[in-house]
A and B are shown apart, each in its own frame.
Chain A
């Protein structure tokens, strides 16, 4: 079936440095790519999303880039802060008929003080 590969599974960075998480997808029909942040014991929350008609989107310290040819997209967090520590999931809309989301396995981001 369709899948989304996410790397790395764990990422540790110094506070103030940048963090990059990468995902690849397999379904060429995918056209919606959200990123969710999940803190321990809490629900996933959307932090940014991108549609296939754009290559990059920014929201303050967070940016997402999309390369449709290579079928990969990345999350960039600059000037990381302790509250950025969480598990981040990428996804595409290849789940069950293009409406459900197929999620990557997640990246545990650790911000070292």
Chain B
């Protein structure tokens, strides 16, 4: 157990819908990262928050957004869903902003039908 909790584990939804994925980082970790894993694109960095502020952006679509709350949990919002958004979404947390081990949650498997 990494100490990073993601909910839900599985999510099935229709095209055009909006979903919210939730992540609770390890106790004491200030950084939260979101990654998308698909068969064709591999593991792709989406976005990072550090202590409530957006820190870095990767290949995140405009239809996707995230935030980190005062209690440090984070949510990833995916809207206007398309079939191609079906993937495994991982949250990871680390203690510092950079260059330290990132601990991954178990992931949320999103299926868009």
Contacts and interface: CB of A to CB of B under 8 A. Distances in A.
Interface of A: 31-32, 34, 36, 42-46, 49, 51, 89, 91, 93, 95-106
A44 B99 contact: no
Interface of B: 2, 31, 33, 35, 42-45, 47-48, 50, 55-58, 90, 97-99, 101-107
A100 B42 contact: no
Contacts of B35: 101
A100 B56 contact: yes
Contact of B99 (A31, A46, A106): A31
Nearest to B4: A43
A43 B2 CA distance: 9
Instruction: Please list the 4 inter-chain residue pairs (A to B) with the smallest Cβ-Cβ separation, ordered nearest first.
Output: A100-B45, A96-B56, A97-B56, A95-B45
Given A32-B98, A97-B57, A99-B97, A44 B42 contact: no
The residue among B31, B42, B48 with the most chain A CB atoms within 10 A of its own CB is: B42
Contact of B56 (A43, A91, A95): A95
B104 A44 contact: yes
B101 A96 contact: no
Contacts of A103: 42-45
A44 B90 contact: yes
Given A43-B104, A45-B104, A100-B56, A89 B43 contact: yes
B99 A93 contact: yes
17 contacts: A43-B104, A43-B105, A45-B2, A46-B103, A89-B42, A91-B43, A95-B56, A96-B47, A96-B58, A97-B55, A98-B56, A99-B31, A101-B35, A101-B43, A103-B45, A106-B42, A106-B43
